[in-house]
Amino acid sequence: MPEQGGATEQRRRIALPILLTPIVALAVVGTVADVIGPGLINERPLLQMFLNPRSRYLLLASPQVDAVPFFAVGFLRLVLTDPLFYLLGVQYGEAALRWAETKLGDDGGFIRGAERFFARFGSIIILIAPSGYLCLLAGAAGMRPRRFLTLNVIGTVGRLLVFRLLGEALEDELFAVLGFIQRYQWWLIGLSFVIVSLQSRRRRQSGTLRPPAELEAAEHQDGVEGDEARSEERS
């Protein structure tokens, strides 16, 4: 009976490309938006928020747009990939964590450090910082879907509220920064291009841009085990 349940669970597993493709695509879009951010943040702040919802762009966009579009676009973009990261953690567990370590490029320090605290403070971590890799950790740690979704939604709304309040409190200072960016946007775009290019080169050299071999191996192993379980069922 346990083998039958395991096979059923494997058949329900979402294919790895379906989970990873949106994550990778949005990461590429975010990198491009980081380069052209100095041009977009003044002219199309909502578009910049959606393409790359980094904290600095959320803060700079806040005084430029009305509250409703700010929260709508910000919330949609911030939670767009969180469930995918969570499902990666649920389905691939330890392999997903090792993949996250290579992607972060810090010798696994961030993930291992977060793991040590997650058993006791997992709910607080997701509430305060519902980022993609921490959502992956929540899935790998076995956090229940309902709890994860509730904390993720509350944490995301809270994050946007903080940036909105900061935008109102620092409105004059932020518009001064936006004016500086507007005046020197082409210089800043060039600088951003150089920085992103150097970061991409370093990631290629360290192997963090290679295909997720750990996840592919785990998926292949699960497929083999599922085939064996189904063969035993038929026999």
The residue that leads in pLDDT, 201 or 198, is: 198
Q: What is the pLDDT of residue 11?
A: 46
Domain segments of the chain: what residues? 2-234
The pair of three-digit structure tokens given for residue 27, joined into one six-digit string: 């990461």
The pair of three-digit structure tokens given for residue 1, joined into one six-digit string: 């009976």
Q: Side chain identity at 75, as an amino acid letter?
A: F
The residue that leads in pLDDT, 139 or 10, is: 139
Whether pLDDT at 107 is above 60: no
Whether pLDDT at 229 is above 80: no
CA-based Rg of the chain, rounded to a whole angstrom? Answer: 21
Distances 113 to 34, 58, 97, 110 between C-alpha atoms, Å: 28, 27, 12, 5
Q: What is the pLDDT of residue 8?
A: 39
Whether pLDDT at 94 is above 90: no
Average pLDDT over residues 75-92: 92
How far is residue 173's CA from residue 100's CA, in Å, rounded to a whole number?
Answer: 37
Averaged confidence pLDDT in the chain: 82
Range name among 56-70, 136-150, 215-229 with the lowest pLDDT average: 215-229
Residue with tokens 């943040």: 41
Q: What is the pLDDT of residue 214?
A: 56
199 pLDDT band, cuts 50/70/90, is confident
Residue with tokens 């497929």: 223
Half-sphere exposure of 110 (CA within 13 A, CB side): 15
The residue that leads in pLDDT, 230 or 232, is: 232
117 pLDDT band, cuts 50/70/90, is confident
Q: What is the pLDDT of residue 4?
A: 41
Whether pLDDT at 223 is above 60: no
103 pLDDT band, cuts 50/70/90, is confident
How far is residue 235's CA from residue 229's CA, in Å, rounded to a whole number?
Answer: 10
Provide the 3-class DSSP secondary structure of residue 107. coil
110 pLDDT band, cuts 50/70/90, is confident
6 pLDDT band, cuts 50/70/90, is very low
Whether pLDDT at 2 is above 60: no
Q: What is the pLDDT of residue 121?
A: 87
20 pLDDT band, cuts 50/70/90, is confident
